Structure 1
Amino acid sequence: MAVRSKIATAGRTVRADVPFGLFFVLSFIARFIVTCARIVNQFLGNNCPQMAAAISFYALFSLFPLALAVISVLGYIAGSEAVKSQLAGQIGQLVPISTDLVTETIQGVVDAKHITGIAAIVGLLWAANAVFGAIRKGVNTAWGIREPRPFFHERFIDFSLTVGAGILFLVSISSTAALSFFREVSKTVDPQLGLSSDVAWNFAAGIIPFILSFFTFAFLYWLLPNTYVRFRYVIPGAIAGAIAFEAVKNIFVFYVRNYADYNILYGPIGAVLALMTWLYISALIFLFWAAVTSHYAAFMEERSARRRWRRVLDDTRTHTYAAPTSTSGN
């Protein structure tokens, strides 16, 4: 008790000596540092880096089988060569590796599809379900949730995310093709309109990847945790995660193109190692901001509970209970 009284006395002395504004700033910085330390401790203590490695491993195996599925669907609508070119460009925007490597790999997969068609389908289902299963487990690990969902419920979520990823590829490729078509047509109709479309195209090329990243982060942060999460609580973490993802992607692209040469160390598989490195960094970013989102959601729920309790107390205080009066006849 003596120690506590001394600490309280010291705290009052500090508050008296320090201006209120400075004390508020220092208090905020201290709470921020403590919160960051807790998030990092939870992130490392729950083995999130190992979960990120698992996600990157399965993502590497699922990327090109998923590309084969997209080519198979769109090949009936547009020419296979046009689809492959659009798909290579889309994958090149998502992952910072050479577009030539993506094109050659996709071409090799397409050439072997008649021989390994069934194997490709089985590999797609296994790898895609595995990568989304790893993402699901990683998010729950980052949230500190140990209790899993029922087995078939988890498989249904993984399969739904697999289908959703394929649809996202289809929509992305279709929208890019439509914008490219509009851009070329506008140039032939009116050169001034073509110039305006170039400005709009450059703006869309810069903002669309961030929008896709934001909605992907927000949807997964809201859906995958095995607990009730209000969607508005995941928005700040999704915004920060999308910004970090796009920023680190551009930095990684600049570094690989100007400084790093994986071929010197790893030879022909250097590009594959660069892709694996990028997938691992992306998974780390995704899981770290999942941990941040879990802390933010818990903080908001606690604050909401305090407000509800305060309203209950206020309502209790404002109510006046009149004592019952008894009348006695004379």
Structure 2
Amino acid sequence: MEKSRRPLADTGQTARSPLEIPRAGWKQVLLRLYYTSEENHTSLVASGIAFYSLLGLFPAIAALISIWGLVSDPAQVEQQFALLNEFIPADAANMITAQARSVSASAGAGMSLTAIFGLLLTLYSASKGVKTFMEGLNIIYGEKEDRSIIKRTLLNLGLTLGMILMVIVTLFCVAVLPILFSFLPFAGFFAYALYYVRWLLLLGMITLAIAVLYRFAPNRKAARWEWLSIGTIVATVLWIAASIGFSIYVSNFGSYNETYGSIGAVIVVLMWFWLSAYIVLLGAGLNCELERQTSRDSTVGPAKPLGRRGAYAADSVAGDESQPS
């Protein structure tokens, strides 16, 4: 006798959040994620993001140090770049630190003009990377870009400025707070605590940056935070693990300097950017497939029926499939 079909609810069609999707539904989600990552050419999109991120790296360093120099010693920013040694290969960290040292050494009377020039250059270059991220996330979420050029430009600049602000806030907490706490009682305790708190702060900023990209960058009605959280957490954890793993690989097994000579460090940074972009896009793909697993409205605002939610992932139910549609 033929077995009756498993009820749709068993795979998560009635789930109100990703946590309500059962194991069978998760298997479908992960299988579709594998297929759609190939179909969407995620690796190729990540390559474009990595290229534009590399173009914006050095102007970003110049702008950060220049802006910081308006209120404090620019050398403090250079010192905080030592944190990179914990995450990325030594060659890449040394290249970035050397650039930071060069910029901080030249900081002087013309600091305001340098800050303005560096900031404009950063916005131009870094916004290219954010724009590519927006295009990549549209591909991942199955959306077409039809926002007006004004809205798109303002969103692009807003996201770019937001990312820069996150970096500045992080640097402030890491570089300035220890100085302020040194004047308080129990300064030694605060210094010891901040040594560990700064890593939590860095982790929090990375998580927030990824979540903001997922929420606002795609051309769709925004998903509720609970439908963004799983992909955000997975992307953050994978990024940290992959960065540390890549650093270990390059330090012990890689031969970039022998192969590429003097530009070996540049290639390492480019590869790290590609790896980072790929992981962020993969997290977005996971969120997309989780939304497609349920028939409930996963977007912000009052619940709407299928086809009227303003997002392909929310309007498309794939929970009863074993292959991507």
The answer for the alignment partner of 2:196 in structure 1 is 203
Native 8 Å contact 2:33 2:285 kept in 1: yes
* Unaligned runs of at least 5 residues, structure 1: 1-8, 16-27, 310-330
Give 2:35's match in structure 1, choosing from 41, 47, 55: 41
1:71 paired with 2:65, answer: yes
- Output one character per residue of 1:98-120: Cα deviation in whole Å (capped at 9) or x when no partner: 44322222344567898x96975
User: Which residues in structure 2 correspond to 1:116-131 (within 5 Å)?
Assistant: 123-131=121-129
Native 8 Å contact 2:76 2:175 kept in 1: no
* Unaligned runs of at least 5 residues, structure 2: 7-21, 306-325
Larger radius of gyration: 1
Native 8 Å contact 2:163 2:209 kept in 1: no
Native 8 Å contact 1:92 1:102 kept in 2: no
Identity between Structure 1 and Structure 2 (%):
23
- Output one character per residue of 1:135-193: Cα deviation in whole Å (capped at 9) or x when no partner: 1111111111124311111111111122112211211111101343256557xx65xx6
Q: Distance in 2 between matches of 1:233 and 1:242?
A: 15
Letter in 1 for 2:224: R
Q: Distance in 2 between matches of 1:308 and 1:262?
A: 53
Letter in 2 for 1:132: V
Evaluate the alpha carbon distance shift between residue 179 and residue 80 of structure 1 in structure 2; reply closer, same or farther with a 3 A threshold: closer
Moved more, 68-77 or 282-291: 68-77
CA offset at residue 258 of structure 1?
A: 2.9
Letter in 1 for 2:216: L
Evaluate the alpha carbon distance shift between residue 252 and residue 198 of structure 1 in structure 2; reply closer, same or farther with a 3 A threshold: farther
Q: Distance in 1 between matches of 2:243 and 2:183?
A: 32
Native 8 Å contact 2:75 2:105 kept in 1: no
Give 1:177's match in structure 2, choosing from 154, 175, 178: 175
Is the helix fraction higher in 1 or 2? Answer: 1
SS at match of 1:124: helix
SS at match of 1:270: helix
TM-score (normalizing by structure 1): 0.74
Evaluate the alpha carbon distance shift between residue 112 and residue 155 of structure 1 in structure 2; reply closer, same or farther with a 3 A threshold: farther
The answer for the alignment partner of 1:266 in structure 2 is 260
CA offset at residue 31 of structure 1?
A: 4.2
Evaluate the alpha carbon distance shift between residue 120 and residue 202 of structure 1 in structure 2; reply closer, same or farther with a 3 A threshold: closer
CA offset at residue 276 of structure 1?
A: 0.8
Native 8 Å contact 1:46 1:144 kept in 2: no
Q: How many residues align?
A: 280
Q: Distance in 1 between matches of 2:84 and 2:262?
A: 20
The answer for the alignment partner of 2:3 in structure 1 is 11
Q: Which has the higher contact order (CA 8 A, sep 6+)?
A: 2
Q: CA RMSD in A?
A: 3.2
1:241 paired with 2:235, answer: yes
The answer for the alignment partner of 1:293 in structure 2 is 287
CA offset at residue 122 of structure 1?
A: 5.4
SS at match of 2:219: coil
SS at match of 2:296: helix
Q: Distance in 2 between matches of 1:220 and 1:238?
A: 10
TM-score (normalizing by structure 2): 0.75
Native 8 Å contact 2:137 2:281 kept in 1: yes
Letter in 2 for 1:46: N
Native 8 Å contact 1:218 1:235 kept in 2: yes
Native 8 Å contact 1:53 1:280 kept in 2: yes
